[in-house]
A = this chain, B = another copy of it.
């Protein structure tokens, strides 16, 4: 299946256009400024000296590369001299810092340390992001200086890891190089990069030189080398590392028609989808090590659900859709994109969540001795992968919309756009996810439209048959209306954190209740899932604030007292899209709400 790249289309979708404009106008510069101030950009030339502030860190380069990739995607549709100058400055600094042999890492080169000896030091991870940035910048601007340097780095890595086998480890502690090499292979057509990607993927879990990472994460699952990748069926360990690996496995499976690899990624996807995914599409529920937890262990207040993990999960799902249309993949991507990823960015585009809790308990933010979620999005964090990851994903959101197979155009995400490819023009018109009414056409192609998992009823302008969650039409133009009433959801019995509770969705958006909208402390509110949810006239981010029926239970000050039957006090509970929470000041919040 062929993917239609985002740069083939003009996004007309009001929802994503607005997010893209925010990233373009605000986020990209907010992140740039933080990266400049914190030394990430100035130290790229590797001239930092002991005693100066802002000593480079081994993953600082990767933050900047992700940002450059985002800048490139913005340039695709909105060329901009200021961005060009900023990236030019970055490229010139890198050119000063790169080693003769093509190796580049601002920390290693600045300190002139022996390279490729520490498995957990993100050297190949950084190279992977350098490759992605180089490709993106070259494609967007024709300037291939960064790409050439990245290729030199990849050639050097190929020599060290594959030809000479002289590195201190076989496979990196943080995956990313694998998917980047697949991409470099596709961009350049050079088989060496495919061979090196395959080398890293095939050697993982094969017990040659690799040993568990340090920092108390002393097991093999943490970096997914407990088993050869083709034998893996469960999502384990550090969630972002995991999904980046799974992306590369999918790329290689598709490239090589490798059925063993395909079975592995399908098994892993199903494991996440059925047992390890928050309703928001967030993954990686454990604070400890930012890892996948046991099946169904999805705590709400202590959800980790890193922004990058939700984003990476969406990237994995997108790759699966290139292999085979299955609406579970697109449903999961939709969950993550509209909820657990987007919650990482403030509405004004300036601040970020790294951790995306499903319940906000401000009192818990003060708990001593334990890490806890931030009460509000922050403008800076020291481990700063999430902000530039958003900068590179949102401008490229169009990548998620279509795939094409011979005469059939598959529509996975209902993001309004006009796309041009293979002498065709595909168009999606509509106002999703504000409503589910869409007009989709692609003259000359038959349409296959995903029926969203949240949708129990739709009306279409033409007859269709359904397979694996896709509605197959014989025609090239369809009007379809996915009914989008607010619905209540329950979680599997084994998700102990959600027992006695319901969540609300409307279309792809998960809703939540912020205390500042309620008549009482949110922990004293109960929701009635047998009463209808209605739309109010108030909106947030363009969406109507919803109202559910419920009641509040009386406040109790004494720690433990005999139960007394109390008349419930009926109330209306107001619900907002999850991705918009914590944008109106500090407030307690719940996504899963106790029922009456």
Chain A contact residues, CB within 8 Å of chain B:
217, 219, 221-222, 236, 273-275, 277, 279, 286-289, 291, 293-297, 301, 361, 363-364, 366-370, 456, 487-496, 499-500, 502-503, 521, 523-524, 526, 529-530, 553, 555-565, 594
Contacts and interface: CB of A to CB of B under 8 A. Distances in A.
Nearest to A588: B496
Contact of A294 (B286, B368, B521, B560): B368
A459 B119 CA distance: 73
Contacts of A289: 368-369
A369 B560 contact: no
B296 A363 contact: yes
Contacts of A594: 499-500
A558 B368 contact: no
Nearest to A487: B562
A494 B524 CA distance: 9
B297 A363 contact: yes
Contacts of A565: 529-530
A301 to B, nearest CB: 8
B368 A221 contact: yes
B523 A489 contact: no
Contact of A523 (B499, B559, B562): B499
Q: Which of A275, A286, A500 has the most CB of B within 10 A?
A: A500
Given A294-B364, A489-B561, A491-B556, 11 more contacts: A236-B368, A273-B559, A274-B558, A275-B559, A277-B559, A288-B369, A296-B363, A297-B364, A491-B560, A492-B558, A500-B500
Contacts of A553: 493, 499
The 10 nearest A-B residue pairs measured at CB: A288-B369, A488-B563, A500-B594, A289-B369, A288-B370, A529-B563, A493-B555, A294-B367, A496-B523, A490-B563
A499 B590 CA distance: 13
A64 to B, nearest CB: 30
A369 B286 contact: yes
A480 to B, nearest CB: 20
Nearest to A297: B367
A219 B370 CA distance: 13
A490 B236 CA distance: 38
A236 B494 CA distance: 35
Given A293-B367, A500-B526, A274 B559 contact: yes
Contact of A563 (B368, B489, B494, B563): B489
A577 to B, nearest CB: 17
A592 to B, nearest CB: 10
A279 B560 contact: yes
Contacts of A529: 563, 565
A219 B367 CA distance: 13
Nearest to A291: B369
A295 B362 CA distance: 12
9 contacts: A221-B368, A236-B368, A286-B367, A286-B370, A288-B369, A288-B370, A293-B370, A488-B563, A489-B560
Contacts of A361: 496
Given A363-B297, A494-B363, A526-B500, A369 B217 contact: yes
Given A361-B496, A557-B492, A366 B294 contact: yes
A559 B492 CA distance: 5
B368 A489 contact: no
Contact of A495 (B294, B496, B559): B559
A472 to B, nearest CB: 25
A590 to B, nearest CB: 10
A521 to B, nearest CB: 6
A565 B532 CA distance: 13
Contacts of A494: 363, 523
Nearest to A520: B493
A93 B557 CA distance: 54
A528 to B, nearest CB: 11
Contacts of A492: 556-560
A483 to B, nearest CB: 12
A455 to B, nearest CB: 11
B502 A563 contact: yes
A366 B89 CA distance: 50
Give the residue among A274, A502, A523 with the most B Cβ atoms within 10 A: A523
B495 A524 contact: no
A563 B592 CA distance: 12
